[in-house]
Every structure is written in structure tokens, then in C-alpha cells.
């Protein structure tokens, strides 16, 4: 369960390592900022700018939780236009060294965001989110980002004709074929296996295992897409009940073949990061029982949060 025969790739983005064998490196939490409805836009229309003080507080809180728990954090910067990307990226890199991705629904602003990162020398700490199976002009997109020198790329793999884990594998193959046909190559390829709803995140975990067995890629998904869809939970049990369900879903994903999770708004980091820290410690202990190997990273949550227990494990 905790060792793949296929060599597992390890990506390094802005100094953060992700991937490898289960339990080797902690799951990276990638919460979003500047998304629709983000608290940084509270009291003002999006086009009128954002509250920089509030945004800084949210980023600092995530950094603190990351340092205390050992869970690495990257930011998912969401924008609608290239101009927005420029403003958000300029602000973000002025207040933090955290790695990040650029995220937009359509190709044009994504390419403009990638071009701006290339211009500013930020490609080592940025990954492109994302190449998708539903993009109609995928060849142009691949060639454009390759020409810009983009190093790290996320593939969103899904097949409407096959919504089982096998469809995520075939979706991955389609995108890899498109990259090959475009004559492109990237330093890192990661795969997001597309959450449909909360329980369907289990299909993502199984798909991630298949992808790791076949290619050794870094894998993940966005469990938050599922939990934020579950509005009935808030109606029945209030915010605390819903938050518990969200934390459970994020933790389950982190334990089961997710090297990275897209966790929703960064303002929710105080709920998600501790859940992932516990899940990673849980996973690493299971991996130790099977392999007698402890995590590679000295800052792993098992060491950071449960140092006394690590010493016990060493004596077993």
C-alpha cells in the first residue's frame, strides 16, 4: 500500500518538495486567494481592488500554521484577466516567498499570467494551473507556455465518457499525447484528477494510485470542490458541522495518494492545515509499519507535531 514499484517523481517548486513514495514528503496544501467571494474583496467590487491588509493577514496566518505544523503551503492565485494577475502577483510576491500557481477559467488570462511570471523571473516558484482535457485549442496553449519557459505544469485529467478512475488515467494520457505532439517538455508534471463531489474524491484517490503506478507523477485533486458543494451540511448542522466534514475530506485525501490538495479559500487554513497535519502523521506511521522508513523531510508533521512518538517508533 505504501510503496510503488514505479519510481516516484519529486517536484521542487520554490523550495517546496512534493511527491515521492507515500509518507516520504508531506502533502502540500494549496488554498486559493483572490477567488470570487474572497474576504479580501469584502465591502468593495472586485474591479475596485482588494484590501491589502486583510490579504496580508490571511497569508501570514497560513504561513504560521505551515511553520507550526510542518504542512507546506502554496497559494492558488485566481484571476479573471491578465491585468488582475499582474496586480495580484505583484502584491503576493511583495509580502511572501510562498510558491504559487496561476489559475483562471480560460486560456487568455492564464497565458498572460504566465507571461508576466516569466517577465518577472518567477517561473521557479510558479506552476501553471492548468492544462485541461476540455480545452479546444490545447496545442496552442502548450506551445505558448513552453515558449515562455514554464517549468511546472498541472494537468486536469477527466473523461466524461468514463467517470471511474480509469477515465482519469485515459484523460492524463490524452494530455501527455498533446504535450508530445506539441514537441514540449516540462521540468515537472502534476495531475489533478478532478473532484465531482465529496464522496467522489475517493475516485480521485484511486485514480491517483493508478497514475502513480503507471507514471510516478505527483498527484492531487481539489477536495474542497466537493465539500463546498455540500450546502445541505450547513443547513442541517451549521458551519461547525460542515467544517468538520470539510476537514475530514481534506484529511482523507491527504492520507490517500494526494501529494497536493487544493483546499479552497485561504481563510479556511486554520481548519484545513491541522487536519492535513494529522492525516500526514497518520499516513507516515502506517508507512513506517509497512516499510520501517520514516519521512524524508525533517519538518514533516510526524516530526514537528509528534516528536516523542517518533522516538518510540525508532525503538520498535
Determine the straight-line distance between the first and last CA of the chain, rounded to whole angstroms: 20
- From residue 293, give the alpha-carbon distance in Å to each of 1, 78, 217, 276: 14, 38, 21, 20
Query: Does residue 25 lie within any of the structural domains?
Result: yes
* Residue 1, in any domain of the structure: no
Q: Is residue 2 part of a domain?
A: no
Which CATH number covers residue 133? 3.20.20.20
pTM: 0.96
Nearest C-alpha neighbor of 283 from the set 253, 309, 263: 253
In contact, 197 and 238? CB cutoff 8 Å: no
The structural domain count of the chain equals 1
120-138 pLDDT, tens digit each: 999 999 999 999 999 999 9
In this predicted structure, what is the pLDDT of residue 44?
A: 60
Rounded Cα distance between 211 and 132, Å, is: 16
Q: Could you tell me if residue 268 is inside a domain? A: yes
Q: Which DSSP category does 142 fall into?
A: H
237: which residues sit within 8 A by CB, 6+ positions away? none
Is residue 3 one of the residues assigned to a domain?
Answer: no
Provide the grid cell at 272.
484545513
| Domain containing residue 282 | 10-314
3-state secondary structure of 72: coil
Chain centroid offset of residue 315 CA = 35
* Per-residue pLDDT, 49: 86
pLDDT in tens, 252-310: 999 999 999 999 999 999 999 999 999 999 999 999 999 999 999 999 999 999 999 99
133 lies in a domain?
A: yes
Amino acid at each position: 500500500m505504501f510503496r510503488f514499484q514505479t519510481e516516484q517523481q519529486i517536484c521542487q517548486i520554490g523550495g517546496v518538495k512534493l511527491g515521492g513514495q507515500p509518507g516520504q514528503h508531506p502533502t502540500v496544501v494549496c488554498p486559493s486567494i483572490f477567488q470570487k467571494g474572497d474576504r479580501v474583496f469584502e465591502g468593495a467590487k472586485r474591479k475596485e481592488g482588494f484590501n491589502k491588509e486583510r490579504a496580508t493577514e490571511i497569508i501570514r496566518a497560513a504561513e504560521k500554521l505551515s511553520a507550526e505544523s510542518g504542512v507546506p503551503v502554496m497559494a492558488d492565485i485566481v484571476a479573471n484577466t491578465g491585468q488582475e494577475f499582474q496586480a495580484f502577483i505583484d502584491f503576493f510576491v511583495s509580502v511572501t516567498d510562498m510558491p504559487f500557481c496561476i489559475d483562471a477559467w480560460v486560456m487568455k488570462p492564464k497565458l498572460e499570467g504566465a507571461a508576466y511570471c516569466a517577465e518577472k523571473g518567477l517561473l521557479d516558484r510558479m506552476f501553471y494551473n492548468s492544462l485541461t482535457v476540455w480545452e479546444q485549442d490545447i496545442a496552442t496553449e502548450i506551445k505558448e507556455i513552453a515558449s515562455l519557459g514554464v517549468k511546472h505544469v498541472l494537468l486536469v485529467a477527466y473523461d466524461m465518457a468514463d467517470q471511474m478512475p480509469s477515465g482519469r488515467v485515459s484523460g492524463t494520457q490524452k494530455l501527455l499525447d498533446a504535450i508530445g505532439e506539441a514537441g514540449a517538455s516540462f521540468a515537472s508534471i502534476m495531475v489533478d484528477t478532478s473532484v465531482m463531489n465529496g464522496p467522489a474524491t475517493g475516485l480521485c484517490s484511486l485514480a491517483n494510485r493508478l497514475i502513480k503506478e503507471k507514471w510516478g507523477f505527483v498527484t492531487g485533486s481539489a477536495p474542497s470542490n466537493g465539500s463546498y458543494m455540500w450546502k445541505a451540511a450547513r443547513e442541517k448542522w451549521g458551519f461547525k458541522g460542515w467544517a468538520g466534514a470539510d476537514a475530514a475530506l481534506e484529511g482523507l485525501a491527504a492520507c490517500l495518494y494526494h501529494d497536493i490538495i487544493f483546499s479552497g479559500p485561504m481563510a479556511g487554513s486554520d481548519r484545513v492545515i491541522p487536519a492535513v497535519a494529522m492525516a500526514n502523521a497518520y499516513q507516515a506511521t502506517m508507512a513506517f509499519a509497512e516499510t520501517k522508513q520514516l519521512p524524508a523531510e525533517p519538518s514533516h508533521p510526524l516530526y514537528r507535531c509528534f516528536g516523542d512518538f517518533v522516538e518510540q517508533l525508532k525503538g520498535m
